[in-house]
Amino acid sequence: MFSKACEYGIRAAVYIALQSLDGRRVSVNEIAEEIDSPIAFTAKILQQLSRNNIIHSVKGPTGGFQIAREDMDAVKLNMIVKAIDGDKIYVGCGLGLKECNAQKPCPLHDKFVDIRTDLSKMLKSTSLFELATGLEVGLTYLKR
Amino acid sequence: MFSKACEYGIRAAVYIALQSLDGRRVSVNEIAEEIDSPIAFTAKILQQLSRNNIIHSVKGPTGGFQIAREDMDAVKLNMIVKAIDGDKIYVGCGLGLKECNAQKPCPLHDKFVDIRTDLSKMLKSTSLFELATGLEVGLTYLKR
DNA sequence: CATTAATCGGACAAAAATGTCCTTTATTTG
DNA sequence: CAAATAAAGGACATTTTTGTCCGATTAATG
Ligand code: FES
Ligand code: FES
């Protein structure tokens, strides 16, 4: 569904949001530890998110990553997915034709578009804040 | 969503079904031509489908691939996906945790499971015959 | 101002997915 | 039986994704 990079990216963003709720700024090392991901690879992904203004980074001692409270509401999952995986899950054909096209649809088009539309709606409507709150009360987990 | 191999596998199976409706047995070369896929790679995928009894292969002159009319109803998409991509789309966690687990869910679990369940139902209920008939009447396409 | 701690960015490495080539095996046909 | 045809299967090549390493840059602190 999502690439590994995107999975790490979402988990990382949720963790940063959670910590930012407590006013804590977090380092790559801490993030990788807490979401159980490869450190250097995670750093690369965080750079992408930072360049796309999805998270905020601060260099130097006491530096790290954080997300402003308002941004946790504004940042929806689809923004993270788009920043990392591009728009292939939104425009791609389920059976691999060049692009999805209702004029010359593949045999699975109608059924595939239904699913994809649901997925897209879900991603567009789910905010980082929403995901972080489940974590906060111990209902959900970012690693096992 | 699906791997390239799986996409080719589904397109190939639909094409074989379509031709089998006319009593024609088709070669790898013809299949690859008609679904616009790499020949040798497609051959590998057809072997997998054949070993999983999803399509039937015949060696030698006049040989090729075919699917019995009954099997076109019996073979659902989920069987092809499972044969090629395994069950990761059925048991995997959307955020990449080891496996999806409602006891210790990731923050996206509930929403992800909804989508995945719809996808799973769709794949389990869609037969090869159904996909082939759309092609037959010129409503859908396997290449562009 | 020197040290230190942190991200940034580029080059590289490893693994997995995708794709190719060639030999073997089975089967039909002359 | 010999020749030709088509799938089967193994080895190899390429590309993409995933992951690592290290020097450069930025900023805080004594
Ligand atoms: S054309 Fe294949 S999903 Fe739309
Ligand atoms: S635990 Fe992540 S999707 Fe179920």
Calculate how far, in angstroms, residue B9's C-alpha sits from the geometric centre of ligand 1.
Answer: 16
B68 part of a folded domain: yes
What predicted TM-score, i.e. pTM, was given to this entire model?
A: 0.95
Residue A33 CB neighbour total at 10 angstroms: 15
- Mean pLDDT, to the nearest integer, of B98-108? 97
Asked if the structure places residue A41 within a domain, the reply is: yes
Find the domain containing B52 and state its range.
4-86+126-136
At a CB cut-off of 8 Å and minimum separation 6, what does B141 contact?
A97, A104, A105, A106, B135
CA distance A50 to A53: 5
* B116, part of any domain: no
pLDDT tens digit string along A65-112? Answer: 999 999 999 999 999 999 999 999 999 999 999 999 999 999 999 999
* CA dist., res. A44 & res. A36, Å (int): 15
Give the three-state DSSP class for B64: strand
Percentage of chain A exceeding pLDDT 70 = 100
Q: What is the mean pLDDT of residues B125-134?
A: 97
Helix then strand then coil, in percent of chain B rounded to 5, is 60, 5, 35
pLDDT for res A29: 98
Q: Is residue B111 part of a domain?
A: no
Q: What is the CATH number of the domain that holds A132?
A: 1.10.10.10
pLDDT tens profile B1-59:
999 999 999 999 999 999 999 999 999 999 999 999 999 999 999 999 999 999 999 99
3 state DSSP class of A92: coil
Chain B residue whose CA is closest to A95: B7
CA distance A61 to chain B (A): 31
Best of B3, B141, B143 to disrupt the A interface (most A CBs within 10 Å) is: B141
Let me know if residue A29 belongs to a domain: yes
Q: Is residue B95 part of a domain?
A: no
User: Percentage of residues in chain A with pLDDT exceeding 90?
Assistant: 100
What is the model's pLDDT at position B17? 98
Query: Can you give the pLDDT at residue B106?
Result: 98
pLDDT of B124 reads: 98
Quick check: is B130 in a domain? Answer: yes
Q: pLDDT band at residue A126, thresholds of 50, 70 and 90?
A: very high
The pick from A88, A90, A100 for probing ligand 1's pocket by mutation, whose C-beta has the most ligand atoms within 8 angstroms, reads A100
Question: CA nearest B31: which of B22, B23, B41?
Answer: B41
In a domain, A142, yes or no: no
Q: Which residues contact A88 (CB under 8 A, 6 or more apart)?
A: none
Contact in structure between B25 and B35 (CB atoms under 8 Å):
no
**How many domains, chain B?**
1
Best substitution site from B88, B93, B114 to test ligand 2's pocket, by max atoms within 8 Å of Cβ?
B93
Query: Which among A98, A106, A131 has CB closest to B107?
Result: A131
